[in-house]
Amino acid sequence: MSLELKNVEKKVGIDTHIHPTSLKLEKNTINVLLGSTLAGKTTLMQIMAGLDKPTSGEIWFDGKNVTGMKVQKRNCSMVYQQFINYPNYTVYENIASPLAITGVKNDEIKQRVGKVAELLKLSAMLNKKPDELSGGQQQRTALARALVKDSDLILLDEPLANLDFKLREELREELPKLFEDRDCIVVYATTEPSDALMIGGNTATLLEGKVIQYGKTLEVYNRPENLISAKVFSDPPMNIAEITKSGDNCKFTNNDVQWKSSAKIKDGTYKIGIRPHNITTYKEGNNSVEINGKVQISELSGSESLIHFTNGSLNWVSLSNGTQQKNVGEDTKLYMNTDEFLYFDQNNRLVNNG
């Protein structure tokens, strides 16, 4: 069982929402679609589900061409960013609805709803209506509706975006476990790189209707094929600077910071990408270099410190562990872990990652 998009393209009027895309999702995988708003995640999901038809290209499922096949015949389920439940059905009836429509017997419905409700901690509120539940519970109900039928394809369209922080963390941890023993393909759309890392599986990075890279989540994160993919999969945003390399010596074009690189690449000018957590207020790794900066913004985020600073004409973002207090305007020293630098050539392709 696999879901394959073959050169799928979606145009609406003169706007291209999805550029020709080919993507193959395997059975028993969780696939994250990662990209900002308007990257085409939802459109892509709707095409996968059959809610929307591609302008050109084909969709194959389980070795069959299902392009244009209606969603009702596809055995898929979907969870939305908004909490979508039937307003005057109880939680039980809501979860049971996909089964009831397909004519499953009452005993079996009861048993299956009970099981899913337990999994999603909804057992105590089966007789309540969606209005009486908290946002988290409403979304759990929607998730339960998606899980109760044995779908081949489960689509989750930013399911956690409307939840508050704590609920989001909680549900995000549970989500991958929910799909562990299921015989299905899960697609999960999100704008947050941290979601993708937490969920694991595979990730496709998207920008402006194009799939930039698809592969194992950690691989895409550690070895982004190109600068765009690296940018999409980085939060806070990746630092990018131009460097020149001659022999083993590397040097930023804009300042005097130098380091030795063992990267097996030709001499010349490159762009490097440095993730914020590789610029820290303390030394990390064996090959760190010092950089001077003037603090622009210093903020704490949980137990991490985010420091924006300037060096020459460049703006940098750094992310350090612990609470590092810096004053705005202060001159400070930071350390860059050169082992983690990503080198991109003039065509923005990754040439080596350290």
Partner 1 sequence: MNKTINQKAWYFVIPVFVLVAFNAAIPLMTVVNYSFQETFGNNVFAWEGTRWFKQILLSERFHASLGRQFAFTFIILLIQIPLGIAIALTMPKKGWGVPVCLILMSMPLLIPWNVVGAMWNIFALPDIGFLGHSLNAMGFDYNFTQQPGDAWFTTILMDVWHWTSLVVLLSYAGLNSIQPAYYQAAEIDGASRWATFRYIELPKMKKVLTLAILLRFMDSFMIYTEPFVLTGGGPGNTTAFLSIDLVKMALGQFDLGPAAAMSLIYFFIVLLVCWVFYNLMMKNEAQS
Whole-number Cα distances in Å, 191 to 32, 88, 216: 10, 32, 17
Helix (H) or strand (E) holding 76: strand 76-79
On the 0-12 / 13-18 / 19+ scale of CB atoms within 10 A, 47 is buried
Is the CA virtual torsion 149, 150, 156, 160 positive or negative?
Answer: positive
User: Measured from the CB atom, is 75 or 292 closer to partner 1?
Assistant: 75
Q: To the nearest whole angstrom, how small is the minimum distance from the Cβ of residue 74 to partner 1?
A: 8
Q: To the nearest whole angstrom, how small is the minimum distance from the Cβ of residue 96 to partner 1?
A: 11
Q: Are strands 56-61 and 210-216 parallel, antiparallel or unpaired?
A: unpaired
User: Measured from the CB atom, is 33 or 99 closer to partner 1?
Assistant: 99
Q: To the nearest whole angstrom, how small is the minimum distance from the Cβ of residue 56 to partner 1?
A: 23
Q: Which of 348, 323, 321 is nearest to 335 (CA)?
A: 321
User: Measured from the CB atom, is 54 or 276 closer to partner 1?
Assistant: 54
Whole-number Cα distances in Å, 142 to 48, 129, 154, 186, 291: 19, 12, 12, 15, 50
User: Measured from the CB atom, is 151 or 288 closer to partner 1?
Assistant: 151
CA-based R_g, the chain, Å = 24
Structure tokens at 228: 């765009």
Q: To the nearest whole angstrom, how small is the minimum distance from the Cβ of residue 232 to partner 1?
A: 25
Beta strands (DSSP E) in 94-209 are 153-157, 185-190, 202-207
Q: To the nearest whole angstrom, how small is the minimum distance from the Cβ of residue 82 to partner 1?
A: 6
Distance CA 200, CA 217 (A): 6
Q: To the nearest whole angstrom, how small is the minimum distance from the Cβ of residue 94 to partner 1?
A: 10
Per the CB < 8 A criterion, the answer to whether 252 and 277 are in contact is no
User: Measured from the CB atom, is 101 or 328 closer to partner 1?
Assistant: 101
Q: To the nearest whole angstrom, how small is the minimum distance from the Cβ of residue 72 to partner 1?
A: 4
User: Measured from the CB atom, is 156 or 257 closer to partner 1?
Assistant: 156
Binding site for partner 1 (CB under 8 A): 46, 49, 51, 71-72, 76-78, 80, 82, 84, 86-89, 97-98, 101-102, 129, 131, 145
User: Measured from the CB atom, is 157 or 225 closer to partner 1?
Assistant: 157
